[in-house]
Amino acid sequence: MAAETEELSVELERAALRQVRVNYTEYNHALFKNQLRTPRFCWLDTTAELGVWRGTHREIGLARVLLTAHGWGVLVEVLKHEMAHQYVDEVLGAGAEGPHGPLFRRVCDERGIDARSLGLPHAQHGDTPEGRVLERVAKLLALAESPNAHEAQAAMSAAQRLMLKHNIEALLTAHPHHYHFRHLGKASGRVEESQRILSTILSEHFFVEAIWVPVYRPAEQKRGSVLEICGTPHNLELAEYVHAFLTRTAEQLWQEHKKLHGIRRNAHRRAFVTGVMSGFYKKLESERGKNQEAGLVWQGDAELLGYFRRRHPHIRWTRPAGRYDRDSYHAGHEAGGKIVLRRGVSQGASGGPKLLTGR
């Protein structure tokens, strides 16, 4: 993508700036109640900073590297960060406070904006009790690589129970909870039903809130969507891993299904992969019932929901209907019900999910 952006720099950058202005207008309405006056926008050649608000020039500058090395979702977060600076400067009249003072941090917190000076939305958990729990989960998922189906399933179930117990106990403590967000996968023009089911799996079983957010694809000059998840750092880490694991596993199962039945085309791929995600979701629902019988009941995280709502005050719920090949869907559903979440994959040239380590 970087080479294409350089070759079409003038065309792509002009189109991207127009989209920046569109996004600015959208977030001015959603987050700042239209209190901001639209400034000028420009690209920055430096890589020392991703964005800047220049009050004297009434200008927001965004680094060109955002177009080549990061997704549009990151660019939008940097834009919102600079809009918060503009709000503190022009609306609250507190420009003399300092670039990232208490007032700026409060403005960001009230709107779910990352207030860190770097501007990159990336969660770090470090060597913390949560990180150590995640490491224990990773070890359990490593045990799920056992060729014995019962042992593998037991290890996966134990990992789920550990995360469930940890999150329930965390809500009962008086310690403040820190929430972040991540964008998963690549932006696409069409969100397939299998991806929607996967986002439901993450939000209902892995302690995050999930939403499909609109993004712009500069190389194609088209809009699309990307999956955003919100949660605590260790929950984001696990959810990101599960997303990559299930995405890759579903594709592997489809290739195996094609080979087994001598299928040459991908006409019914969507039906099969949708069935895979649905089958795994049903399996997790069964596990939830067992945990509830054991007294482990997840009631949700009200603070996380508040953070999620501050980031997305205007949410639209959609549920597109689709028709699928019945046989392919049921074959995928059966295969999905046999998936055991494990740790036996690592990121490499094949594009697999990164190894879950907890550190």
Round the average pLDDT of the chain to a whole number and report it: 86
Q: Are residues 209 and 301 in the same domain?
A: yes
The domain boundary residue, chosen from 79, 111, 143? 111
Task: Tell me if 205 sits within 8 A of 164, measured CB to CB.
Answer: no
At residue 348, the pLDDT reads 41
Give the mean model confidence (pLDDT) for residues 186-200: 92
Q: Reduced to 3 states, what is the DSSP secondary structure of residue 113?
A: coil
At residue 4, the pLDDT reads 41
pLDDT for 357 beyond 60: no
Total structural domains within the chain = 2
At residue 356, the pLDDT reads 56
Q: Are residues 218 and 175 in the same domain?
A: yes
Q: Are residues 105 and 160 in the same domain?
A: no
* Beta-carbon-side half-sphere exposure of residue 152 (alpha carbons within 13 Å): 13
Specify if 299 maps to a domain. Answer: yes
Specify if 139 maps to a domain. Answer: yes
Spatial distance between the Cα atoms of 6 and 13, rounded to a whole number of angstroms:
10
CA 144 from centre of chain: 25
Give the mean model confidence (pLDDT) for residues 229-240: 93
Q: Which two tokens stand for residue 304?
A: 């996380």
Give the mean model confidence (pLDDT) for residues 5-24: 80
Q: Are residues 183 and 63 in the same domain?
A: no
Q: Are residues 150 and 257 in the same domain?
A: yes
Which domain does 316 fall in, by range?
Answer: 129-336
State the pTM of this model: 0.85
- Kindly report, residue by residue over 288-327, the tens digit of the pLDDT: 998 888 888 888 899 999 999 999 998 877 666 667 789 9
Q: Are residues 84 and 168 in the same domain?
A: no
At residue 351, the pLDDT reads 45
pLDDT for 2 beyond 60: no
At how many degrees (to 10) do helices 233-261 and 149-171 cross? Answer: 150
Provide, rounded to the nearest whole percent, the portion of the chain with pLDDT above 90.
Answer: 57
CA separation, residue 255 to residues 46, 81, 185, 268, 275 (Å): 44, 43, 20, 12, 14
Specify if 88 maps to a domain. Answer: yes
Q: Are residues 46 and 138 in the same domain?
A: no
Give the mean model confidence (pLDDT) for residues 4-33: 84
Spatial distance between the Cα atoms of 77 and 80, rounded to a whole number of angstroms:
5
Spatial distance between the Cα atoms of 179 and 193, rounded to a whole number of angstroms:
28
Specify if 122 maps to a domain. Answer: no
pLDDT for 136 beyond 60: yes
Which pLDDT band, with edges at 50, 70 and 90, does 347 fall under?
Answer: very low
Q: Are residues 21 and 83 in the same domain?
A: yes
Residues 6+ apart with CB under 8 A from 147: none
118 or 342: which leads in pLDDT = 342
Poorest-pLDDT segment among 39-48, 72-81, 226-235: 39-48
Q: Which two tokens stand for residue 32?
A: 């700042």
Task: Tell me if 203 sits within 8 A of 148, measured CB to CB.
Answer: no
Q: Are residues 66 and 105 in the same domain?
A: yes
Dihedral of alpha carbons 326, 328, 331, 333, sign? negative
- Kindly report, residue by residue over 23-52, the tens digit of the pLDDT: 999 999 999 999 999 999 999 987 778 999
